[in-house]
Structure 1
């Protein structure tokens, strides 16, 4: 049996919550690092963060990693075909060891990894001095996929980050009209067509997005097809500034 889906949080801004005394004491107890399995007071130890979580230069519109020696501030693909994003921020490359942790978090009930993974995105947002949006919205899942998995991994990230930063987050504002095939099962050129017309804004909520600044959150960005399609949808609804925030970006092939 999968976990019961947690009810979405209310739309109004949330005050950052304070951990209980028990939670603070528990946080000081040593455990095993999720990457190297050494004893550590944190879920991901400081040595692994130094080795695997350094901030990288990235294209500001699609978050693909740029070579350190490159004089370009934007990737060639975005120069030729600018995506419908004002800014894209990724914390990590979707490569060892983060790809394994994200697969565990997403497909194997690894909800205990939500907060330590989100810490990396939190750091990347601070490093980029990202503008805080009016709405932080996760990529929605279809009802069938939600029942199968038990939770929307992107919404769990979004609602936790929203609580930390006092942002509005609402799982009912964006709709998934159809799931289509899993993006990971398709060749890269076919992914944009697979998500076309897959999303919509809840009709009664259209006024919430008019003139709004929106950040779309997903766990992994591969080609960007899903986030680009969703960005077009929220722009058509009246959003004037759209960012994409992701934990991990698949490196260029």
Structure 2
């Protein structure tokens, strides 16, 4: 940027911030900078610690290296879950704004909270949970892909938007029980043959917005591992804790 252009850009930003000041993504009050929560919403978010169940990442009261009863009974195909926050009113509101209201800037806010879980030097790859093409046509975008792109920009990690396809439409999973969710997504995901060599022996960071029962993550991880991925770790904005499911 030239020295002459810099003052012009600064002036444009001042006008923009005066006319359209940045607002908290949780409650909408004016805040001091883009992609920031107000103090009240920030304190109300339930940030989840690292660790928990060795398989699903579910909090286990500070115990490390153990596996929860549910995962012992039915081991998931994925190798861990890293969620930024627990699913509550604020987390839900932000996810819905991104998913259904076209508020694509929410992806940047989510990526900012997930970036600490991505080590770009570890040789892993970011892969978003795909939407079926019919749903993309209706919505206009895939919210998980927006989060994955923002994460790639922040961390420098490799990104593959098309490493995984949703090859059959699935019903909305909201309101379905655990077994019904698993049945609905069975066989829904597939790795295109030309993309399989990119996955071989690698850790895949599977990116999604909300983690509920694990049915979608499990189906995606199964397809990725069948294509040769060594490990699949889910990265998501919010997770529904077991006692709230």
Per the normalisation by structure 1, the TM-score is: 0.80
SS at match of 2:238: strand
* Structure 1 equivalent of residue 142 of structure 2: 152
- Distance of 2:240 and 2:194 partners within structure 1: 35
**Of 32, 35, 41, which aligns to 2:23?**
32
Tell me the SS of whatever aligns to 1:97.
helix
| Residue among 73, 78, 90 paired with 2:83 | 90
Residue 179 of structure 1: aligned partner: 169
Count of matched residue pairs: 229
Q: Which residue of 2 aligns with 1:110?
A: 103
Displacement of 1:110: 1.4
Partner of 1:212: 202
Q: Match for residue 47 of structure 2? A: 54
1:221 corresponding residue in structure 2? 211
- Say if 1:23 and 1:233 are closer, same or farther in 2 by CA, change over 3 A: farther
- Structure 2 CA distance for aligned equivalents of residues 210 and 81 of structure 1: 25
Shift of 1:180: 1.7
SS in 2 for 1:120: helix
Q: Give the drift of 1:130.
A: 9.4
Higher relative contact order at CA 8 Å, sep ≥6: structure 1 or structure 2? 1
Equivalent residue number for residue 94 of structure 2:
101
Distance 2:12 2:126 in 1: 27
Q: Is the 8 A contact 1:60 1:88 kept in 2?
A: no
**Structure 2: 5+ residue runs without aligned partners?**
1-8
The RMSD of aligned alpha carbons is 2.7
1:249 correspondence with 2:239: yes
What is the SS of the residue equivalent to 1:40? coil
Instruction: Give the one of 168, 172, 192 matched to 2:158.
Output: 168
Deviates more, 1:38-47 or 1:200-209: 38-47
- Distance in 1 between residues matched to 2:197 and 2:174, nearest whole Å: 34
Task: Give ranges in structure 1 of 5+ residues lacking alignment.
Answer: 1-20
Select 2:228's aligned residue among 238, 242, 245. Answer: 238
Which deviates further from its counterpart, 181-190 or 88-97? 181-190
1:128-151 CA-to-partner distances (Å, cap 9, x unmatched) read x79844310001111100001110
Cα deviations by residue, 1:24-62 (Å, 9 ceiling, x for unpaired): 956987533222333311331244223314333643422
Are the equivalent residues in 2 in contact too, given 1:44–1:116 (CA < 8 A)? Answer: no
Write the distance in 1 (CA, Å) between the matches of 2:61 and 2:92. Answer: 21
Shift of 1:73: 3.9
TM-score normalised to structure 2 length: 0.82
Higher Rg of the two aligned structures: 2
Q: Distance in 1 between matches of 2:148 and 2:11?
A: 21
Cα displacement (A) at 1:152: 0.2
Please point out which of 173, 178, 199 is paired with 2:189.
199
| Displacement of 1:209 | 1.3
Answer yes or no: is the 8 Å Cα contact 2:115–2:155 preserved in 1. no
